[in-house]
Amino acid sequence: MRLAVFASGEGTNFQAILDAVGGDRLPAEVACCISNTKDAGALKRADQHDVPTEVIPPASFESSEAFGHALLDGLAAHDVTFVALAGYMQKIPPNVVDAYRGSMTNIHPALLPAFGGQGMYGMHVHRAVIDYGVHWTGATVHLVDEEYDHGPIVLQEPVPVYADDTPEALADRVREVEHRLYPEALRLFAAGRVHQLCAGRRACHPRPRLGAPAPVGPT
């Protein structure tokens, strides 16, 4: 797996991926980090690990299609075979989704399909979770399609919501799960353990052999 990580912010999930690769827990090579902004902290993390970077701002292009072609050119330049969105604050153009369909994932800080969709990112999600009064939230890794937070779910893990939670405290607990869950999901892809899409929206994992550990993370 030659992995591109797309990130717009500080890149803590990117760091978790780098740590998993460096610790031999993820059999992949991080081929590049792509951001829509030159100020992303993720780019500094990439530089510290000698990972090539690309800054491709969508405002520089006349159309989504042209932006997509620029992204595809950047991915092709680094021979990328899989894309991981990790706090990337731009919708992926359809031509990029088509080119990497089934080989592009995103992580979302809630249990999709709840608290997903346009505008639901970062602290907005955690505020909405607390305001709604649910007792459980979590993290979801899903395949990317043409809609926000919509593709088939690969892995999820719940996180409790406490009565005295602030959005910041809840975000910290969810982020801890994200940092464990995302490298594990990518490991499953790298090992060929997510091998098909079932009927409907389910992302399938092979049934474990008798006595073998299940291929998915915590339930």
129, two tokens: 């979770």
Q: Using CA atoms, how far apart are residues 128 and 142, in angstroms rounded to an integer? A: 20
Q: What distance in Å separates the CA atoms of residue 144 and residue 150, rounded to the nearest whole number?
A: 7
Cα dihedral 181/149/95/62 (nearest 10): -120
Catalytic residues: 108
Taking a C-beta distance cutoff of 8 angstroms, is the pair 159, 173 a contact? yes
State the Cα–Cα distance between residues 141 and 94, nearest whole angstrom: 20
